[in-house]
């Protein structure tokens, strides 16, 4: 519970106090004034006498050097009650979009694990997301850490952490319009091909021409005896036009959807 899933565990053997973390008030932002790699090796050097629980890289890396059950040495008098995040960059830098995400993830995790409130604070006796300079001389007098641009980003980090904790609003599922109920004739008709004069050249349509022949006959528009019932010639076209006129359709001798329906 004191190692954050998703953070790369880079434990330092020195520069922290085992246990010693009493009730957690919040998370404190810092600026490395250097690189993630440089800070990673510096925290493992006993001469540093400094460490942080977490560290972000500009391109989105997230390191954890100290368990949150232990006290990192990040902000002097603020160490017993605050977790810490060092951020790659120089004084005056703003956090990158990826760093904002990593800080939000740490804050969201600290909320779930340590009950840290998802709010901005600038009070060393307050709770939430703070920054190093707010602790004044009691916290080492680092008035330029992490810099005004990052301080101005605290609200954005809190907003992103809230989105992580509360779940991002999911877009409403597209409602599929109900399919109009079709009767059997419509289903049948939709499956039938369009027949036109001469379409028997496509042998696959001969069966459908024969069907149309039978239906014309059944509707009282018989094709004369002796005409091949698998050929859509003029004799059949005459009867199709007659049926279409009778049904108030366009008399074009094309057996499409409407004419098939009339035939059925």
Q: Decide: is 53 part of the binding site for Zn ion (CB under 5 A).
A: no
Closer to Zn ion by Cβ: residue 17 or 211: 17
Identify the helix (H) or strand (E) that includes residue 109.
Answer: helix 97-114
Residues 27 to 46: which contact Zn ion by CB under 5 A?
A: 30
Neighbours of 25 (CB within 10 A): 23
Nearest distance, CB of residue 51 and Zn ion, angstroms: 12
Output the smallest distance, CB 174 to Zn ion, in A: 48
| Candidate segments 113-121, 139-147, 173-181, 245-253, binder of Zn ion by CB under 5 A | 139-147
| Min separation Cβ 177 and Zn ion, Å | 57
Least Å distance between CB 166 and Zn ion? 29
- Minimal distance in Å, beta carbon 90 to Zn ion? 13
| Strand segments (E) across the chain | 8-9, 16-20, 26-31, 54-56, 62-64, 70-72, 82-87, 128-131
Kindly state the DSSP code that residue 144 receives in the 8-state scheme. T
Distance in angstroms (rounded) separating the CA atoms of residues 66 and 44: 11
Q: How many residues bind Zn ion (CB under 5 A)?
A: 4
Smaller CB separation from Zn ion, 61 or 134: 134
What is the rounded CA–CA span in Å between residue 229 and residue 227? Answer: 6
Restricting to residues 71-90, name those near Zn ion by CB under 5 A. Answer: none
Applying CB under 5 A, among 53, 127, 132, 154 the residue interacting with Zn ion is 132
Residue 74, sorted as left (phi over 0), alpha (psi -120 to 50) or beta, turns out to be: alpha
Give the residue among 208, 221, 204 at the shortest CA–CA distance from 260. Answer: 208
Q: Single out the residue of 194, 182, 183 nearest to residue 257, CA to CA.
A: 194
- Residue 237 lies near Zn ion (rule: CB under 5 A): no
Mask for 143-172, x = binds Zn ion (CB under 5 A): --x---------------------------
Interface residues with Zn ion (CB under 5 A)? 30, 132, 142, 145
């Amino acid at each position: 519970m004191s190692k954050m899933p998703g953070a790369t565990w880079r434990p330092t053997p020195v520069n922290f106090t085992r246990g010693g973390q009493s009730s957690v008030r919040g998370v404190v932002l810092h600026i490395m004034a250097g690189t993630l790699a440089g800070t990673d090796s510096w925290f493992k050097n006993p001469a540093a006498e400094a460490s942080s629980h977490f560290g972000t890289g500009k391109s989105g890396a997230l390191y954890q050097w100290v368990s949150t059950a232990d006290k990192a040495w990040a902000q002097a008098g603020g160490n017993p009650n605050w977790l810490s995040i060092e951020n790659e960059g120089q004084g005056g830098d703003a956090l990158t979009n990826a760093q904002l995400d990593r800080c939000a993830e740490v804050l969201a995790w600290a909320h779930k694990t340590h009950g840290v409130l998802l709010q901005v604070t600038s009070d060393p006796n307050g709770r939430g997301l703070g920054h190093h300079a707010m602790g004044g001389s009691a916290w080492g007098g680092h008035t330029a850490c992490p810099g005004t641009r990052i301080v101005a980003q605290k609200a954005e980090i809190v907003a992103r952490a809230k989105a992580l904790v509360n779940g991002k609003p999911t877009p409403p599922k597209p409602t599929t319009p109900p399919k109009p109920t079709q009767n059997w004739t419509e289903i049948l008709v939709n499956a039938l091909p369009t027949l036109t004069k001469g379409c028997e050249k496509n042998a696959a349509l001969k069966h459908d021409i024969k069907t149309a022949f039978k239906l014309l006959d059944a509707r009282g528009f018989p094709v004369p005896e002796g005409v091949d019932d698998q050929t859509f010639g003029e004799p059949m076209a005459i009867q199709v036009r007659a049926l279409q006129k009778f049904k108030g359709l366009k008399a074009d001798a094309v057996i499409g959807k409407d004419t098939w329906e009339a035939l059925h």
